[in-house]
């Protein structure tokens, strides 16, 4: 924390024009000879530092990697997330810039023959920028870069070799080639083939040698012979990685429905008037939200602005990405986790240099270096994946909101099941609400049935399928339709439930379910630390059928195979999707109807839009209901609503079957009716009663140490510190041990603070972080999470 601030350095006169805010520099740090990389935040004429300033050793970038917007954002982000500003800055940039990389200079297209450029490159295609590059040279390079005559390429060291390729071209005119072709001997078949190729591809030359050899089956020796005869010339070309891949056919915009055009015109007028408003689109699944996103993004582009769109997880939403790329073509950059770091950098620089107008990506894409943003969209805004679990613990929605204000342009949040926080803000008028209640073409919502698993008929079955669900899968198979089966995995097996009455053991103080702690052999509350022994009969109905609940996907897969030996089952869970690209492969296979049943965990609930899917079955709706988190009902409602929306997307009627031990729970009943508003009212009432978000702010502070006694002692010390600054309205829970209380051989304790207003708390937390810095060296750490998404 002492180092969490800018440091002052002298700018050597040779570097005056090059050291500008946003470039990285190498500087000496501390007393020793240690050299580190720093970001230039600001250039000042005078210094308040009384000692002798150290000079900057060298400049790493000849043009800024951080815009003034990003520099500004980093101050806010560090404060908001209680993290080091340097880690915020690094989070904004592609990894390559942290890794070992090389920098190369090359001529910008059209400037290959420029005398200044030629002098710099000295006959080479690429020139590496190294530590030995003189200050004079750096200045020259910076000048050429500013006049856009050259480009800088970053290449991760072990990928540096792949940047240039050998290619084939010709110095002959097309006519001359044709003449030579006629002059070839009749039996020189290989040469004829090569000449024909060169004539056909004349305008596309040079072409990579490997392409000619592999794809067109022309031997190396054939090329060499042609080179000797003066028909072919070998040259070097540079190759930029193109991660977007095949661009789907351009798709035209459909005529909007009334609800859609109303939404579009509201948002467009905010774009037109530079109004940094936040809109919340609450629209049932299939109401056409995506089309609203596309047309408002178009509006931004029409005005010469750019558009940023966030989706929860690219690999799970390939259809959404295809629609965006289908509409905007190669103006789109897609930032997804499957990109290699080199590809990610390439996309980043395409965005940075303005060749891209639209960015689609998951959480970290919120830092995309787009300039002149005209609209920011967050689809499925309620998703927990928008919050980063590690430092800096930022929520993409907060960053998007900051950028929306910075650019003075609207932010659009969309969901069928908005987060309670967002919906509550719309209620108060902080966000402007747009509701879309109708499905496109008045397509009916799927027919949903709740199955009470406590019924004799259902509790008698051996496996996990009720007769009703089994029967419906059978019918779907018979009609050659597809089914999705969801196994709700989150939090499974760590909670206790009665199979007779559905009872779940809860904390008497906190209204969240207790979690089983294996090492203690006890049930424990993660919020307040309350603990009690594991009951062996149900406290509610005295049944002995109380126990840990949970089934694995593999087990369900076996049951499906046994019941429906002819059905082709695809399984999608953490085990089958570990390999890169396997998500997309499974989704593609299912989409092409190469399988009949898609069985999976939470990851199958989102965004799939396949016409043959007419049945969705939920094996165990209760599991998310029982996680020890005050968002349990909200998560359950969202999951069930989302997964139900997968059935009956086209003209065939959809059917959903939800199995549960809590058929009367409002989250399950409201989800069955796809009735968000009723759910919202009920849940708000309960949050109010128990004092949770959005009625209170929540901050989670966790403390860890290798010695359990130390961790506990420190957490009590911390509690005392916080109590001193909190008002009577605030509530402090804990310290309590967390679920995995011995991660990396450390003991974790957490304190939950719920409060209405907390400037003093914020200040005190920042101070505590700074004060405890020296303790960190002794293995003691504090982590602060503003508005946590999970409490475990």
Could you tell which of Zn ion, ligand ADP, none binds residue 543, using a CB distance below 5 to 8 A set by kind? Answer: Zn ion
The phi-psi region of residue 274 (left if phi > 0; otherwise alpha if psi is between -120 and 50; otherwise beta) is: left
Binding-site member from 507, 603, 616, 782 for Zn ion (CB under 5 A): 507
| Binding residues among 309-338 for Zn ion as defined by CB under 5 A | none
- CB of 446: closest distance to ligand ADP in angstroms? 13
Q: Which residues contact 202 (CB under 8 A, 6 or more apart)?
A: 174, 177
Q: Which helix (H) or strand (E) holds 697?
A: strand 697-705
215 vs 543 by CB, closer to Zn ion: 543
Number of residues that bind Zn ion (CB under 5 A): 15
How would you class 252 by CB atoms within 10 Å of its CB: exposed for 0-12, middle for 13-18, buried for 19 or more? Answer: exposed
Q: Is 101 in the site for Zn ion (CB under 5 A)?
A: no
Q: For Zn ion, which is the closer residue by CB, 179 or 544?
A: 544
Which CB sits closer to Zn ion, 144 or 510? 510
Q: Site for ligand ADP (CB under 6 A): which residue of 83, 91, 257, 641?
A: 257
Is residue 444 close enough to count as binding ligand ADP by CB under 6 A? no
Residue 148 near residue 108 (C-beta atoms within 8 A) = yes
Any contact of residue 283 with ligand ADP (CB under 6 A)?
A: yes
Please list every residue from 482 through 501 that binds Zn ion, using CB under 5 A.
498, 500-501
CA distance 498 to 496: 7
Show Cβ contacts of residue 120 under 8 Å, excluding neighbours closer than 6 positions: 105, 127, 140, 141, 144, 150
SS3 category, 250: coil
Helix (DSSP H) and strand (DSSP E) numbers for the chain: 25, 31
Strand order in the sheet with 522-524: 515-517, 522-524, 531-533
Which is closer to ligand ADP, CB of 282 or CB of 352?
A: 282
Tell me: does residue 591 bind ligand ADP (CB under 6 A).
Answer: no
CB of 625 to Zn ion, least distance (A): 16
* Short-list 125, 98, 93, CA closest to 112: 125
Cα–Cα distance, 533 to 524 (Å, whole number)? 9
Edge-to-edge, what's the strand order for the sheet holding 569-572? 447-452, 655-660, 613-618, 482-486, 597-600, 569-572
Which region among 1-9, 256-264, 401-409, 598-606 touches ligand ADP (by CB under 6 A)?
256-264
Tell me the per-residue interface mask from 511 to 550 with Zn ion, x by CB under 5 A, - otherwise. Answer: --------------x-xx-x-------x-xx-x-------
Residue 260 binding result from ligand ADP, Zn ion, none, given CB thresholds of 5 to 8 Å by partner type: ligand ADP
Per-residue burial over 65-76, b if 16 or more Cβ lie within 10 Å, else e, is bbbebbbebbee
Stretch that binds ligand ADP, among 12-20, 287-295, 419-427, 673-681 (CB under 6 A): 287-295
28 vs 248 by CB, closer to ligand ADP: 248
Locate the DSSP E strands across 680-721: 697-705
| 254: contact with ligand ADP by CB under 6 A | yes
Nearer to ligand ADP, 317 or 513 (CB): 317
Binding part of the chain for Zn ion, among 70-78, 388-396, 502-510, 680-688 by CB under 5 A, reads 502-510
User: Is residue 415 close enough to count as binding ligand ADP by CB under 6 A?
Assistant: no
Query: From the CB of 542, what's the least distance to Zn ion, in Å?
Result: 7
**Whether 105 contacts 116, CB under 8 Å:** no
Measured from the CB of residue 287, what is the shortest distance to ligand ADP in angstroms? 4
Residue 488 engages ligand ADP in binding (rule: CB under 6 A): no
Nearer to ligand ADP, 438 or 568 (CB): 438
Tell the smallest beta-carbon distance from residue 777 to Zn ion (Å).
34
Q: Give SS3 for 442.
A: helix
Rg (CA), the chain: 30
752 binds Zn ion (CB under 5 A): no
Q: Which residue number, 285 or 702, has a Cβ lying nearer to ligand ADP?
A: 285
Task: Work out which of 85, 191, 290, 638 binds ligand ADP, going by CB under 6 A.
Answer: 290
Residues 6+ apart with CB under 8 A from 727: 755, 756, 757
What is the rounded CA–CA span in Å between residue 89 and residue 78?
Answer: 9
* Cα atoms found within 13 Å of the Cα of residue 397, Cβ hemisphere only: 24
285 binds ligand ADP (CB under 6 A): yes
Q: How far apart are the first and last CA of the chain?
A: 27
3-state SS class at 269: helix
Residue among 254 and 354 whose Cβ is closer to ligand ADP:
254
Token reading at 345: 């950098």
Site for ligand ADP in 608-637 (CB under 6 A): 609
By C-beta, is 346 or 380 nearer to ligand ADP? 380
**395: contact with ligand ADP by CB under 6 A:** no
Distance CA 513, CA 524 (A): 9
Instruction: Indicate which of ligand ADP, Zn ion, none lies near residue 498 (CB less than 5 to 8 Å, by partner kind).
Output: Zn ion
Q: Which listed residue (180, 278, 287, 466) binds ligand ADP by CB under 6 A?
A: 287
288 versus 361: smaller Cβ distance to ligand ADP: 288
How many residues bind ligand ADP (CB under 6 A)? The answer is 15
What the block records as the tokens of 20 is 């500008």
Q: Per-residue x/- mask for Zn ion, residues 445 to 484, rule CB under 5 A? A: ----------------------------------------
Q: How far is the CB of 503 from Zn ion (least distance, A)?
A: 4
Those residues whose C-beta lies under 8 Å from the C-beta of residue 93, and which sit 6 or more positions away, are: 65, 66, 348, 367
Q: Is position 286 an interface residue for ligand ADP (rule: CB under 6 A)?
A: yes
Asked if 782 and 703 count as a contact pair (C-beta separation under 8 A), the reply is yes
CA distances to 451, 456, 535, 662 from 541, rounded to whole Å, are: 20, 15, 12, 14
Closest CA to 294 of 333, 314, 264, 270: 264
Q: Which residue is nearest to ligand ADP (CB)?
A: 290
Residues at the interface with Zn ion (CB under 5 A): 498, 500-501, 503, 507, 509-510, 525, 527-528, 530, 538, 540-541, 543
State the residues that interact with ligand ADP by CB under 6 A: 254-257, 260, 283, 285-291, 440, 609
């Amino acid at each position: 924390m002492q180092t969490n601030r800018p440091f002052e350095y002298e700018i050597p006169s040779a570097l005056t024009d090059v050291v500008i805010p946003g470039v990285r520099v190498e500087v000496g740090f501390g007393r020793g000879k240690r050299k580190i990389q720093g970001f230039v935040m600001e250039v000042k004429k005078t210094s308040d530092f009384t000692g002798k300033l150290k000079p900057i050793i060298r400049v790493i970038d000849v043009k800024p990697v951080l815009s003034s917007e990003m520099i500004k954002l980093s101050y806010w982000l560090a404060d908001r997330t209680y993290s080091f500003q340097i880690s915020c800055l690094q989070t904004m940039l592609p990894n390559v810039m942290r890794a070992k990389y090389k920098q190369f200079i090359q001529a910008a297209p059209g400037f290959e023959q420029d005398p200044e450029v030629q002098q710099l490159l000295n006959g080479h295609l690429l020139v590496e920028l190294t530590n030995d590059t003189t200050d004079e040279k750096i200045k020259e390079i910076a000048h050429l870069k500013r006049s856009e005559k050259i480009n800088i390429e970053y290449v991760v060291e072990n990928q540096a070799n792949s940047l240039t390729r050998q290619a084939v071209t010709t110095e002959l005119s097309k006519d001359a080639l044709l003449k030579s072709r006629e002059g070839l001997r009749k039996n020189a078949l290989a040469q004829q083939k090569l000449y024909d190729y060169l004539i056909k591809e004349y305008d596309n030359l040079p072409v990579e040698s490997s392409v000619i050899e592999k794809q067109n089956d022309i031997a190396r020796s054939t090329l060499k012979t042609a080179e000797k005869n003066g028909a072919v010339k070998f040259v070097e070309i540079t190759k930029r990685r193109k991660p977007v891949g095949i661009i789907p056919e351009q798709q035209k915009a459909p005529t909007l429905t009334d609800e859609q055009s109303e939404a579009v015109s509201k948002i467009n007028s905010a774009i037109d008037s530079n109004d940094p408003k936040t809109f919340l689109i609450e629209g049932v699944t299939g109401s056409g939200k995506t089309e609203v996103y596309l047309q408002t993004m178009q509006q931004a582009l029409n005005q010469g602005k750019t558009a940023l769109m966030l989706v929860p997880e690219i690999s799970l939403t390939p259809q959404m990405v295809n629609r965006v790329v289908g509409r905007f073509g190669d103006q789109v950059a897609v930032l997804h986790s499957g990109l290699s770091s080199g590809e990610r950098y390439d996309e980043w620089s395409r965005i940075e240099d303005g060749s891209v107008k639209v960015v689609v990506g998951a959480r970290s894409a919120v830092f995309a270096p787009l300039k002149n943003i005209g609209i920011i969209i967050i689809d499925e805004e309620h998703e927990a994946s928008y919050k980063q679990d590690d430092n800096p613990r930022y929520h993409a929605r907060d960053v998007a909101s900051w950028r929306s204000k910075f650019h003075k342009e609207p932010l659009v949040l969309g969901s069928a099941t908005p987060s309670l926080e967002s919906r509550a803000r719309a209620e108060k008028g902080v966000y402007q609400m747009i509701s879309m209640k109708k499905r496109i073409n008045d397509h009916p919502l799927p027919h949903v049935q709740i199955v009470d698993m406590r019924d004799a008929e259902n509790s008698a079955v051996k496996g996990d399928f009720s007769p009703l669900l089994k029967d419906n899968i059978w019918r779907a198979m018979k009609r050659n339709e597809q089914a999705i089966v969801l196994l709700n995995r989150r939090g499974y097996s760590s909670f206790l439930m009665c199979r007779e009455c559905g009872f779940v053991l809860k904390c008497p103080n906190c209204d969240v379910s207790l979690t089983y702690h294996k090492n203690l052999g006890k049930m424990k509350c993660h919020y307040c630390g309350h603990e009690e022994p594991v009951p062996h009969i149900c406290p509610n109905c005295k049944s002995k059928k109380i126990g840990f609940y949970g089934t694995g996907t593999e087990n369900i897969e076996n049951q499906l195979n046994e019941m429906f030996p002819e059905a082709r089952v695809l399984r999608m869970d953490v085990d089958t999707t570990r390999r890169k690209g396997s998500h997309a492969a499974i989704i593609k296979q299912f989409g092409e109807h190469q399988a009949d049943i898609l069985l999976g965990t939470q990851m199958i609930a989102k965004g799939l839009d396949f016409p043959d899917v007419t049945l969705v079955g939920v094996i165990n709706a209760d599991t998310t209901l029982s996680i020890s988190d005050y968002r349990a009902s909200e998560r359950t409602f969202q999951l069930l609503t989302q997964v139900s929306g997968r059935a009956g997307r086209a003209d065939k009627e959809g059917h959903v079957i939800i199995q549960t031990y809590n058929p009367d729970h409002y989250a399950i009943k409201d989800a069955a009716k796809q009735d968000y508003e009723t759910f919202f009212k009920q849940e708000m009432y309960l949050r109010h009663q128990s004092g949770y978000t959005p009625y209170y702010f929540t901050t989670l502070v966790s403390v860890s140490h290798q010695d359990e006694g130390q961790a506990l002692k420190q957490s009590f010390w911390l509690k005392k510190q916080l109590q001193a600054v909190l008002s009577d309205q605030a509530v402090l829970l804990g310290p309590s041990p967390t679920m995995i209380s011995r991660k990396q051989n450390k003991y974790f304790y957490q304190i939950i603070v719920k409060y209405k207003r907390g400037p003093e708390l914020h200040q005190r937390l920042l101070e505590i972080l700074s004060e405890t810095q020296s303790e960190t060296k002794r293995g003691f750490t504090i982590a602060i999470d503003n508005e946590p998404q999970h409490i475990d």
